[in-house]
Structure 1
Amino acid sequence: MLTGRPTARRRARLLIPLALLVAWLGLGGAFGPYAGRLSEVATNDRAAFLPRSAESTEVARLGQEFQTPATLPVIVVWESRTGAVDAGQRAAAEDVLRAAATVPGATGRVSPALTAADGRALQGVVQFRSDLGRQTGDSVRAVRALAEQVPDTEVGLAGPAAVAADLGRAFAGIDGLLLGVALGVVLLILLAVYRSVLLPLLVILGAVFALATACALVYLLADHGLVRVDGQVQGLLSILVIGAATDYGLLLSARFREELHLHGDRFAAMRTAWRQSVEPIAASGATVALGLLVLLLSDLTNNRALGPVGAIGIGCAVVSALTFLPAALTLLGRTAYWPARPAADGRAPVHAVWQRVAALVGRRPRTTWAASLAVLAALAAFAPALDSGGVPQSELFVKPQPSADGQRLLSAHFAGGAGNPAVVLAAAGHAGAVTAAAAVPGTAGVRPYTGGAPGAAPRTVDGRVRLDVTLADPADSDEAIATVRRLREAVHAVPGGEALVGGYTAQQYDTRVTAERDRSLIMPAVLLCVLAVLVLLLRSLLAPVLLAATVALSYLATLGVSAVVFPHVLGFTATDPSVPLYGFVFLVALGVDYNIFLMTRVREEALRVGTREGVLRGLTATGGVITSAGVVLAATFAALSVIPLAFLAQIAFIVAFGVLLDTLLVRSLLVPALVRDLGDRVWWPARVRPATERAAVPEQVGERV
């Protein structure tokens, strides 16, 4: 055979990675467009955020029967700049409302212009079809353009349609802006950390292929009504896939680089790297996917939607990391790390920083874990101060939005709950009694729903009437929620009234109660899933319990920091009720990733040199890749802040800070110090025997290592 020609065996070994690479290129080309098409099957209506079984949700469903078709109102407010509203302004407002009835998407039903009690403002309501989707923003802007024709007034638009328009504008950048920022940040970090040109591009390309595949699968399922997608779920899917695929890619590429130092042959190096990486990557993916699927236990529709969608994304990230990246690295070999090509010198790479960290842990393990626990406990002490009672409507968005300005104008001149009444459905035969009972403290008026026709009789549907109860306080305030609770107690007590109370404030209250129930159910279920995966992976009971406990404590510490940062630095007076739950699912499931990366390597080293020495070697070998993976994941979630929604900004901070805390303190100091101090006991009830012990004492038949 001629020198330099590849042997038949070598050519055969190239076929598998080549086939995988071609397959992924084909999938990327076919599925790539779907990464920007999820918005076509996404819906951002407020029904996505309601508890499925709550009283307010039942009212929302039954209440649609009173409006044919179902409508989405926008409330137009005019504040006179000259003092009292004059006859010319009132006439101009009436003309605007009549013209607004012909705006595309309007139902043709508008209210007359009502004058505020102080005489300084006017209010009118324009009804839109509820199925406008992304056209809602255009319709709202058309109404604003008409409303601004009223002379010497400041115009504000409030109500569900105005909020929907702002949500549509906020989510408009989720296809391109969020993805571009996330990928750009990850690429810059990888270039700075690894000082390689090709490797970051390969890792990013693997993440893009995983995201494209996940988006195509989710698009297909959503198009057939099997899963539900909204802007929030869409954004979290992108971040989850990019972050997870990058983390898994870094673990594999770091191990491949290490094996290239020990093997002259790239195929042998990849076989070892893949074999040692497949178990932690698969276990990590299973942990995150199971944690997300536990969200199916939630009674909130958007929480349930994230479960299967996120699990699909994590599955695609795992497959990409274990197929595309190994194929690309095998074909490129040492060139993938250019210009710092690893030499086949038979020595594992030296990590000077992590050798010093390991030395600290080795010298003072008990002091190290005690100090780490003290820091986490001190931060966790502030966790109860985090207010998760719900974000006021004025704080739904990070930046000022027209709907918030409109609500401010509305609340300044009309009853605090004007435009967002509590809705009571009651048996028509007992409407009088229910109306009388509804006049509880905190209400500013009760009126029957007539369908908008002046002087018309109350509309009756299936033996029910609808009563609109105006609240004295702003609809998103704690005072309004207390009023709704009193209202429910009063109308429920009417014999035969069959009354149900819904509306915006009731939805806020029901969402808060449901979120508390979800946390008490889902958080323990996620921990059980994590423990089950860790037990199977580590063949131990004590180690999984310790690891899960450290992750839970890290989560509480993050909530403690958030309780201080949100109100005093970021200006959030409260958090969305689902934020603590999302933070827990992401931090526990993703934080366990780093536990898995560390402890699988510790166990591998413990089988050679024992647990106490093995944990130091494992920390030295994985410290760099775990830290860089944590920084990348934190930066990826931080990219969520480009979408100007308070919910996503709060999730971005909690996950980014929590991942960094977990990476730099828990995984670098606390866990290694605990394992070093416990030694072989950490694997209880199993026993890990190092190679030296196994060589000195022959194994008994049936004895397992």
Structure 2
Amino acid sequence: MDKILGRLSQLVAGRRSKWITLAVWILLAGGLSAVWPSVNSMERNNAANLDANQPSVIAEQLAEQEFPSDSGIPALTVWTREGGLTDEDYTRLQELTSYFTANPLEGMELVLPLEQMPLPALKQQASEDGTTWVLPFFFAKGAETDVMKTGMEEIRSQAETIFEKDPFDAKLGDQGLVARVSGPAGISIDAVGLFSSADVSLMIATVLIVLILLLLIYRSPILAIIPLIAVGFAYGVAGPILGKMAEQGWITVDSQAISIMTVLLFGAGTDYCLFLISHFRQLLTEEKEKSKALAAAVKGSSGAIAMSGFTVVIALLVLLLAQYGSVQRFGVPFSLSILIMGIASLTLVPALLAILGRASFFPFIPRTPEMQTERAKRRGKPNRHPKSKASAGWIGRTVTKRPWTIFIVTTLLLGVLASQATRIEYTVDLLSSFPEDTPSREGFAVIADKFTPGELAPVKLMVDTEGKDIDLQGTFSSLPYISQVSTPADGKTNPNIRAIELQLNVNPYSNEAMKHIPELRQTAESLLADEGIGEPENKVWISGQTATQYDTENTNARDTKVIIPIVIGLIALLLLVYLRSIVAMVYLILTVVLSYFAALGIGWVVLHDLMGNAAIQGLIPLYAFVFLVALGEDYNIFLISSIWKKRKVMPLKDAIREGVNETGNVITSAGLILAGTFAVLATLPIQVLVQFGIIAAVGVLLDTFLVRPFLVPAITMLLGKAAFWPSKEGRLGQESVEDTVK
């Protein structure tokens, strides 16, 4: 492998090949963008997250078949006025529905004909205090979010004409009429809007944070731009490929996946570039010929870069095994983008460095001592010897002198932090991840306050009665967590199937509501069994948002149990193949897993104790695990690769000290940049990204400043030669045990 990668610089960064390499990337990015659609244009934000075998999905299909009048997606428009709605308000609402009855919107399935109802009847459906009325507009099942958004904009425009001002623009608490849109349609519109508005701002913020950190760390404007160029080309190639795959129906992409993919590309991509660039800069202080220095840099770092990138690609591909759609849709975009970024860092970056040479590091150009002397003579100034770096090696010296102390302190610290993860509360409530001033969340708050919270998303329960008269309404009305039960309805094609709608007296999106789903099922099955109906477990169906979230929680739990062990196993296998050491593989995996739980613990303290979040999204642990374990191993691989190579020519103690000191600066700078890019997510108005960004940034910082410089070297020092077991590669002649542990 080293020989193959050693020839890489000659193939991509030779005197002529460097220009060919650059031209190939320009043609690839430009050509693919010209002929294939961009990935952003192929986003599909209403793709199903649960597969067809989930109970709530089966129930939804049955509801559409037997009770088609309820098959639309409701946009619940909430109309409220402090002091009570007026007769004029009701009259204008009748005008609004009359207009859309005569002028139906694209994708709209049903408009309630309020104009056919007398005012007294309308007032009876208002809230008890007469201040609020909920008017639903039903869009066709499967309607695209963009279609629903356009429809609601037309409703808002017409309301502004009829009411002579825009009630959707008024603030809650104002004296006039205030309107909001909530319900499944409103939530979907807000979710897509939040992610869509975040795309551009996220891209700009990510580029700026990477550029600023690179300038602060390396103080070279040219060097700061090189990784950004590489990431730009990688995105320019990956985007059209993903767009074409989505166009062909091979994959599905959504706004959330593209947003996180952008951050991942800039963060991890910049890391790979820096691993090569830092090695090149170091060798330029030892080798006068830039081409030889670059060849040595590519040979010395490409193995670790390739292994690091491959580890991340494999870990991300495991997401394809997820059953939950939102997680599964991450697999291909993330892994493909990292694969292309890895190729760019091993081909395009060497070509750019070959073209720019030492000027890449302007104004702090690295030179050999001889070049420094010649330059000083030409300028007629005394040669300034570089400052001693003794002070910079204190970490390496400390780790090798006091490995037990370092091991005990870091392990205890990480353990204490990880213990906080046991306090975490999880939720799958999408609405709670929105900012409090989001229209759909404000609308829900009004409904919960003026009516019952369960009215926003009722639970539909269907049973096969086999023709028997079963008291569904009476049975479920007696349950303490049910506020209202509808009159039973008979199925359209099978009258033996009867359905009731249940309004919970708690937030239907909450964990408390989800706990009632198995209770409702058990109650219905017991009722059927008491009536002598056989196999009642196959004759009860529950649909609605609460049931969907219950299945979502179970699916997330299944994905976590399946994906995490597979990711650990695959990364362990890759480490074993690369390092040929079972012992090293085990402790490298364990340190990163411990760091992951510590990141969850710190994240919970920040999100819950400091920011007031009652719970974090249920997908966060799985997202964070895959990213932190895969990316954390990047830094371990880069460090251990250095130690392993130096172990061939010096005692292990010296190899650890030199390896820590040699990789310290580049890993620190890479970690800061990666953490900074994840932290950008915390600036967005979407709680799921805020939570993921904070936990991922904390995890990267723990790996960068605690696990990599202290814990891993300390363990390696304590294990001594056993760290290489069973491989004998890298042992230094007849070195005595005393030389190793002194």
Structure 2 length as normaliser, TM-score? Answer: 0.86
Deviations 1:635-676 (A, max 9, x none): 111222343211111110010111011100111111111112
- Name the CA distance, whole Å, in 1 between partners of 2:406 and 2:16: 50
User: SS state of the match for residue 156, structure 1?
Assistant: strand
Deviation at 1:131, TM superposition (A): 2.1
Structure 1 residues 316, 261: closer, same or farther in 2, change over 3 A? Answer: same
The aligned residue for residue 379 of structure 1 is 417
Matches within 5 A, 1:456-471: 459-460=492-493, 464=497, 466-471=499-504
- The offset of 1:35, in angstroms, is 11
1:132 counterpart (123, 144, 153): 144
Say yes or no: does 1:168 pair with 2:231. no
Please give the per-residue CA displacement for 1:612-643, whole angstroms capped at 9, x wherever unaligned: 21011111110000011111111111222343
Does residue 59 in structure 1 map to residue 98 in structure 2? no
What residue is the counterpart of 2:309 in the other structure?
285
1:221 to 210, 221, 245: 245
Q: Are the aligned partners of 2:681 and 2:690 in contact in 1 as well (CA < 8 Å)?
A: yes
Partner of residue 106, structure 2: 105
| Aligned match of 2:171 | none
Matched with 1:442 is 481
Q: Pick closer, same or farther for the CA change 1:28–1:434 going to 2, 3 Å.
A: farther
Corresponding residue for 2:130? 119
Q: Which of 510, 513, 532 is the matching residue for 1:477? A: 510
Question: Hey, what does 2:271 align to over in structure 1?
Answer: 247
Using the TM superposition, give the Cα deviation of residue 284 of structure 1 relative to its aligned residue in structure 2, in angstroms: 0.9
Contact 2:37 2:240 survives alignment (8 Å): no
Q: Which amino acid aligns with 2:81?
A: S
Q: Assess, with a 3 A threshold, how the Cα gap between structure 1 residues 354 and 467 changes in structure 2: closer, same or farther.
A: farther
Match 1:272 to one of 296, 306, 317: 296
Q: How does 1:539-550 map to 2 (within 5 A)?
A: 539-550=580-591
Query: What pairs with 1:52-451 in structure 2 (closer than 5 Å)?
Result: 53-65=53-65, 66-67=67-68, 71-83=72-84, 85-101=85-101, 102=103, 104-105=105-106, 107=108, 109-111=110-112, 112=114, 114-129=125-140, 130-147=142-159, 152-345=176-369, 354-391=392-429, 393=431, 395-398=432-435, 400-427=437-464, 429-430=466-467, 433=470, 435-436=472-473, 437-439=475-477, 440-447=479-486
Q: 1:434 to 1:211 in 2, by over 3 A?
A: farther
CA gap 1:529/1:40 in 2 versus in 1, 3 angstroms: same
Residues 468 and 265 (structure 1 numbering): CA distance in 2 closer, same or farther, change over 3 Å?
A: same
Between stretches 163-172 and 401-410, larger displacement belongs to: 163-172
Q: What is the rounded CA distance, in whole Å, between the counterparts of 2:317 and 2:52 in structure 1?
A: 18
**Structure 1 pair 573–69 and aligned structure 2 pair: CA distance change class (3 A):** closer
Following TM superposition, by how much is the alpha carbon of 1:132 offset from its aligned partner in structure 2, in angstroms? Answer: 3.2
* 1:396-443 deviations in Å (ceiling 9; x for gaps): 214520100000111112222102011234447558538345444322
Contact kept, 8 Å, 2:72 with 2:109, in 1: the verdict is no
User: Partners of 2:403 and 2:628 in 1: how far apart?
Assistant: 25
Report the AA paired with residue 20 of structure 1.
T
Distance in structure 1 (CA, Å) of the matches to 2:492 and 2:94: 25
Q: In the aligned structure 1, how far is the partner of 2:496 from the partner of 2:235?
A: 50
Match of 2:692 among 613, 632, 651: 651
Residues 179 and 392 of structure 1: CA distance in aligned 2, closer, same or farther (over 3 Å): closer
Cα drift, residue 345 of structure 1: 3.4
| Cα contact 2:59–2:543 (8 A) shared by 1 | yes
Are the counterparts in 2 of residues 36 and 175 from structure 1 also a CA contact under 8 Å? no
Distance in 2 (CA, whole Å) between partners of 1:12 and 1:270 is 8
Within the alignment, does 1:585 sit opposite 2:626 as a pair?
yes
**Are residues 667 and 18 of structure 1, via their aligned partners in 2, closer, same or farther at CA, if it must alter by over 3 Å?**
same
- Partners of 1:585 and 1:189 in 2: how far apart? 25
Distance 1:33 1:565 in 2: 45
Q: Is the 8 A contact 1:140 1:165 kept in 2?
A: no
Post-superposition Cα deviations, 1:245-285, rounded to whole Å, max 9, x if no partner, equal: 11100001111112222222222212221112221111111
Residue 62 to residue 239, structure 1, CA distance change in 2 (3 Å): farther
Partners in 1 of 2:220 and 2:390 — Cα distance? Answer: 19
Pairwise CA distance, 1:214: 1.3
User: Contact conserved, 1:630 with 1:660, CA < 8 A, in 2?
Assistant: yes
Moved more, 85-94 or 262-271: 85-94
Give the count of matched residue pairs: 678
1:489-509 deviations in whole A, cap 9, x for unaligned?
122342366221121111112
Give the AA of the match of 1:55.
P
In structure 2, the partner of 1:629 is 670
SS in 1 for 2:501: strand
For 1:16, the equivalent position in structure 2 comes to 17
8 Å contact from structure 2 (residues 148, 189) kept in 1: yes
The residue type equivalent to 1:671 in the other structure is: V
Distance 1:559 1:340 in 2: 40
Residues 234 and 340 in structure 2, CA contact (< 8 A), matched pair in contact too = yes
- How far off is 1:540 after superposition? 0.2
Residues 1:428 and 1:75: Cα distance change in structure 2 (over 3 Å): farther
CA contact (8 A) 1:362 1:676 kept: yes
- What is the match of residue 4 of structure 1? none
Where in structure 2 are the equivalents of 1:664-675 lying within 5 Å? 664-675=705-716
The offset of 1:362, in angstroms, is: 2.1
Deviation (angstroms), 1:11: 13
The 1:619–1:312 alpha-carbon spacing in structure 2 relative to 1, beyond 3 Å, is same
Is the aligned partner of 1:490 residue 2:528?
no
Deviation at residue 391 of structure 1 after TM alignment: 3.7
**Would you say the 8 A contact 2:215–2:221 is kept in 1?**
yes
Deviates more, 1:130-139 or 1:369-378: 130-139
Alignment partners' CA distance in 1, 2:389 and 2:239: 38
Task: Please give the secondary structure, in 2, of the residue aligned with 1:190.
Answer: helix
For 2:501, give the aligned amino acid. D
Q: Secondary structure at the match of 1:13?
A: coil
Q: Does the 8 Å contact 2:79/2:177 carry over to 1?
A: yes
Write the distance in 1 (CA, Å) between the matches of 2:331 and 2:496: 39
Q: Give the AA of the match of 1:277.
A: S
Q: How far off is 1:292 after superposition?
A: 1.1
> In 1, are the aligned partners of 2:30 and 2:236 still within 8 Å (CA)?
no
- 1:11-65 Cα deviation digits (max 9, x unpaired): 99312211111111222333457999423211222x5443553211222344444
Secondary structure, aligned partner of 2:616: coil
* Unaligned 5+ runs, structure 2: 1-9, 115-121, 168-175, 371-384, 736-742
Q: 1:690 to 1:507 in 2, by over 3 A?
A: same
Of stretches 537-546 and 515-524 in structure 1, the one that deviates more from structure 2 is: 515-524
| SS of residue paired to 1:552 | helix
Residue pair 2:12, 2:18 contacting (<8 A) in 1 also: no
Contact kept? 1:354, 1:623, Cα under 8 Å:
no
- How far apart are residue 310 of structure 1 and its match? 1.0
- 1:211/1:242 contact within 8 Å kept: no
Determine if the alignment matches structure 1 residue 681 to structure 2 residue 704: no
SS at match of 2:135: strand
Q: Distance in 2 between matches of 1:354 and 1:677?
A: 23
Shift, 1:476, TM fit: 1.4
Percent identity over the alignment is 29
| 1:76 partner SS | strand
Q: Superposition RMSD on alpha carbons, in Å?
A: 2.8
